[in-house]
Structures are given as C-alpha cells and as structure tokens.
A and B are shown apart, each in its own frame.
Chain A
Amino acid sequence: MSLVTDRLYEEAPRPLVSQGTARDYYELLKPRVMQLVIFTALVGMLTAHEPINPIIGFASILAIAIGAGASGCLNMWYDATIDGLMERTAKRPIPSGAIAPGEALAFGMTLSIGSVLFLGLITNWYAAGFLAFTIFFYVVVYTMWLKHWTVQNIVIGGAAGAFPPMIGYMAVTGSVNLETFLQFLIIFIWTPPHFWALALVKSKDYARAGVPMLPVIAGGIETRRQILIYSILLAPVGMAPALFGYTSLVYLAISALSGGIMIWLAYDLYRKRDGDTARKASYRLFGTSILYLFVLFAALLLEEIVPMMIPMLIGRNLI
C-alpha cells in the first residue's frame, strides 16, 4: 500500500503549499446547504417561544451552520473521487485540485469538533450531542454507507438535512416537541422529490460514478412515479403544523396552495417522459421545490415573528 502511495506521489509531485484560496475553503462548506440550515434552525429556535439572549441565539445558529458546513466538507473529502467523475461536481475544490484531500479532512474535522463544543458550551449538551449525531449521520451513515449502497440513499439520508429545526429548538429548551418534529418531517418528505427531480436529469453522471440513485437503478418511469407519490404525501405533511393547531389559517392556505403546485408539477413530470420537455419539467420541479420549502419556512417564521411584533408596535403607537 505504501509502495503504491509513494509511487503515486513520485509520479505526481504535490505542490509545496496549499493551492486553495479562501473561497475554495468556503465552497467546501456547501454554502447553499448552509443557508437552508440557518433558515430552518432559526424557525425551530423561534418555535420554542422561550426567551433567549439574541447573542446566544445568533451564536447557536452560527454553530449549527458551521457544523452543517463541516459535514458538507467531510462529504466532499470522502466523495472526491466520484465528484471528479460527475459533471455537476467536477469543479468542487478537491477534484479540481485546489485543495488536497488531507487539508479538507483536517478542515472538516476541526470545524466539526469546534462547532459541537461551542454549541455545548453556550447552550446545552443535548443540542451539541444532536449536532454531533447529525454530522455523524450525514458523513458516516449517508456519505460512507447509504449513498453507495442503496437506492433509498437520499430517502434515509435526508434525515440529516431535516434535523436543524430540532437542533435549533433543542438549543433553547434542551428538548424536542411535536411542532419541531413536524418541521423535521416536512424537510424529510421534501428531500426525495427534490433530489430525484435533479437526479433524473443527471442520471448519466450518477451511473458513471456508480452511485445507485433511483433513476439509475429503477429507471425514469419508476422515479417519476415515486416523485409523484412523495409529492402527494408532502402536501398534507406541509399543512400539518396548521392541522395540529400550531399555526393560523394563513399558513394553512399557503401550505395547501404550494403543496398543490408541487403535486401538479410532479404530475406534469410524470406525464412528460422524453426529450427536452421532460428535462424542462424536471428542472421546473427541482427549482419549485426549493421555493416551496423556502415559502413554507418563511410562513412559519412570520407566524412566530408577527405575534411578537404586534404588541411592540401597539406599545409605540405605530398601529
């Protein structure tokens, strides 16, 4: 093993110093995923309805976001080889040669340990433990195991992306409740149609890399059927916070309408199976799914903020 490694190093001499820029390190953290994590963790935190020092709240969200970024970094470290085989991910910092795998591993591990310790010290160790479990789940359970082993990879692995609202709530209260579990469920059920819509377009990429995504293993028709099933499930799950009495009728209307749009677009994709129209339908569902989750959590955020703001505004005679 060492002989092979030595020979590889002889044939391809490593640069003297890191070739990465600060931006490359930032890209290792998967900033788009971090945005989702920040947003959903904030909603989970506000759901607690308990006073929290704004500075501690801000620092907690930062710790959760850095923890999520660290898991993204470790994901890129482990999957650098297959990322290099796929068009969508070939320009990531490790396959492009900007950052060496060892640097990414050290960066990811440092941020993982740092974010968990920081969250534990400023809030509580339940939240820190949950954050550590989320990083473990994403890196070990999803990236190292499920992703390369089963067609259900993103269905189960989606849990990692769905935990942040619960961590946010736990940072304030030290426990979880049904409301944050419903928020978890929304992201969990949303993940398969979101990912599979993209995987349908990028199935050749996944096939080349040997990743058993649903379109590669079961084909386009079955993937479309599964997307439609999950979208039909997603609509009532999206409405659940209102159905359980946690939000107002305004949220119910928004979630029902946006859930209906998701079902319609999933059905549209189910009907369009070939050519450019099918490709456009996939991208349309993928883009809309991002907007769907944003709208739902923005509505949940407003449901928490508006009741807090009204007494303040009345007190200042602004209403």
Chain B
Amino acid sequence: MTESIQILLNSIVSGLLLSLVAIGFTYIFQVTKVFHLAHGGIYVSGAFACWWMLTKTNNWFFAVAFSILAVAVLIYLIEKSIYLPLTKKQSNQSISLIASMGLYVVIVNGLAMFFGNENKIIDNTVSGSFGLSNIIFSKVQMIQTIVGIVATTTFLLYLKVTKSNMALQAVSDNETISKVFGINTEKERTKVFIIGSILACIAAILKTMETGIDPQAGMSITLTAAVVAILVARLNVLLIIVFSVGLTFIQNAVEWFLNAQWKEGITFLILLLVILFKTEGIISYNLRKDRA
C-alpha cells in the first residue's frame, strides 16, 4: 500500500513536469503541424543554459532568466530559418519531421561538444525531504510541484486573458482562412513555438535540480510527450495533464514491478495500438462533438 502511494505521489510530480513538455509539444504540433522532435534539443539547451549560468554567477534568478532567453532566441531562429520556410513551401509533415530530427542532432551534439557528455549536477540546489510513515516527499519535489502548477496556471491565464486560444484553434483548423480573418498566423506560430519552448525549459530546469542533465536527456521525455500529444490529439491543457500523470504512473509502475528499461517499450506499445486502432486519439469522438 505504501509503495503504491509512493509511486502515485512520484507519478503526480513527474507527470506535472512531463505535462509542461507535453503542453508545449501538443500546442506546437496542433497549431503548426510540425512534429517538433527538436523540442528535446530545446529542453536540454534550457537545462544546460541554466546550469552554465549557475556555475558562473551562482544566482538562480539570472540563471533561469538567461535559460528562458536562450531557448526563446534558439526557437525563434529555428522557426524563422527552417520551419516557416518549409511551411511556406507547403512541405508535408514528414519533411518537417526530418528537419526536426536534423536540428535535434545538431543541438545535442553541439552541447556535447562544448560541455561534454557527462551528467551535469547543480550544486546550488535544495536538499532534504518530508516523511510520513515511509512515504517520502523531497523538498525538490515540492518545488517541482509548486513551480509546475504556477507555470501551467500562468499558461492557462495567458490563453484566457489574451484570447490566444481562439486564434490558435483557428490557425490549427485552417491557416489560410485564419489569415483572411485578419489573424497574423506567422506571429501566432512564433508565439506558440516560444511559449512551448519556455514551458519545456522550465520542466528541464526543475528536472535538472533533481537528477542533473546530460545532452541526451531530452529525447526520452520528448518522445513520451509526443505520445501524450497523439493520445490527447487536441488543445486541452487539463487533458494533457491527466494523460501525462497517467502515463507517468504506468511508467513508474512498470519500473517498480518489472524493469526500468521496459517502461519505454510499454509506453510505445500504447502509442502503437492507438495509432493503429484509434488514429485520431483516444478522445477523438468528443473532439468532433465539441467542434460540431
């Protein structure tokens, strides 16, 4: 019983971090139709930028601000020089997927070349934990939960206050008609890429506080976020969080009862079954009803 509660607790915290990556990935995928595997490169870039700035200044405020700025500039350059021109050429999703893979390879190997392949640990982080009858909740987990909830709520508020959600839905449904109705689709795309990347950056920093970071760490979480994006198949933050926590719980249970190496296999078996038998995602019927 204690084990199950511990797994559930860990899954909620890790699921929240995954949901930050997945929200960014889903928004980018649904709005721009780019299957942005380079999101993994952006994730590790943010973590490395934070770690690097911390080694120089030992100041968390500067480090977080610098990493957010770094990923924003990086994704802006990628969108303007690669993704947007490909979209203008009406290239299909496979082309942008290939470009994204190439970008991921460049970013990850660039980081490995400059900083090395070994895991980087942040020294200036919190330690200690709270305990209640064998159930442990570390202080880092507490920070991850609070910051995760604040980041997600801020994102939801941003969508509500700026009415961006409507514009994003419009661009997602039909970019050409959105332009006719006066929506600056290029600007909306850029915003989606930058905000999605900032969310991934926050998740990466929070994860780095706990486990450190290495250049290869972004692919696994991005692929899991991609699984969430395919399962949910719509722009709904709460559903993404629920699916992220659920998937993380399955992964943690597999890791606990079987072996850590099976968890990706099981995750992608779920993806394969959904792709083969429910291509439009698990909640596709509701999606159609909502849009009717």
Do A and B actually bind?
no
Q: Which residues of B are in contact with A by a Cβ distance under 8 Å?
A: none
